[in-house]
Structure formats: C-alpha cells, structure tokens
Amino acid sequence: MTEKTHSFWDFVTDEAKKWTARVAFAGCAALLVLLFTPWQERLQAIWDSPDRLASISDKLDYLTQEVMRATGEDRVIHEAPGLTYVTEPVYVGDRITLNIVVRRTRTGAACTLLTRTALFTDETNIATPGPGVSPSRQVGDSDTPMRLRLDVPHQLRPGRVTVHLSLEFDCGGKRVFDRTAPVAFMLLERD
C-alpha cells in the first residue's frame, strides 16, 4: 500500500510542477504582451474618441462651408463668369441694358426674389441707387440669360460707371440679401 500512496504523491507533485510551469509561462507571456503593447495609449484613444470624432466633424463642417464659399454655393444666386455686361454705348439720360446669366444655387433653391435695386457708382465713388423693381420672373437652377433695362440716375457723372444689383430674397420667411458682381460701362455725354 505504500507503493500506491507513494505513486499518488508522485503524481500530485508532477502535476503541480506542470501547472506551476504552465502558470509561469502564461504569466511571462502576459507580461511580454503588457510590456510591448501600447494598451494604455489604446485605452486613452478609446476614451477620447467621442471628443476626437466631434472635432473631426467640426473640421468637416468648416471645410464644407469653405468649399461652398469658394464655389459660390453659399450664395442665393450664381453668375456665369464672363457673361455679364452692359450693352454700349450708353448716353446720359438713356436706360442701360444689363445682360446677365444667373442661376439659383442649392442654398437659394427655396428662395423667392422680392426686389432688385441697381446701384451705380461713378468717379465720385458714391453708390447711387436706381429705383427698386419687383421681378417679373424667378430664376431656376439652370443658367438663365436675362436682359434687364435699368434707369440710370440723373446725378451720375459721365465717364466710367459701375453697376451691380442688390437683391432681396425671402428664404423660408427670412430676409436674405445678395448682390451681383459689378459691371463697368462708359457713360457718354450727348453731342
């Protein structure tokens, strides 16, 4: 019977040695993983991720607004570049014909043009308004050529004059103002 107990205790000690070796090996492996894995940085990144996501979202919103501003999509209307001009010659006391190609932007798609006022600037550099006019039609989202007849204020001096339109829109109950690019023309005296 002593042999049986002796072999039982040998079995228990052998198993204890094996389990001790396994636990020591697993502990060393875990220690190496902890030492060589930046777990603290990962946990910090996970913790800070909502703030970082909000920051990225803010930057994306800012970039979207800047792209819209750069392309003119933040305005109500967009003028086709190089297609706006005044039919000349223009003499003192005459009406001018402003040729312009415009379209609505996505921002201005739901807006309604209420009034347009021509602002004239001569060599005195003082803006002089023409009469405010209610539009006869609205512009769509495709390039629309328009020919506008505008009265020239009598106080303008002959010479180089610029004109631009000040536009008032109703965008969902909110008043929004926009303007066209200035266009130059020569105002000539009658002979």
Q: pLDDT tens, 44-62?
A: 777 888 888 888 899 998 8
Name the burial class of residue 135, with classes exposed (0-12), middle (13-18) and buried (19+) by CB atoms within 10 angstroms of its CB. middle
H or E segment and range at residue 3: helix 2-36
- Residue 102: closest CA among 74, 80, 122, 123: 80
Name the burial class of residue 6, with classes exposed (0-12), middle (13-18) and buried (19+) by CB atoms within 10 angstroms of its CB. exposed
Q: Average pLDDT, stretch 119-126?
A: 92
User: Which amino acid does the sequence have at 184?
Assistant: A
pTM of this structure:
0.63
User: Which amino acid does the sequence have at 191?
Assistant: D
Lowest mean pLDDT among 73-77, 82-86, 180-184: 73-77
- Residue 85: closest CA among 154, 187, 182: 182
- Residue 187: closest CA among 87, 71, 91: 91
Token reading at 169: 């829109």
Pick 67 or 145 by higher pLDDT: 145
With a pLDDT cut of 70, the percent of the chain lying above it is: 95
What is the structure's pLDDT at 1?
47
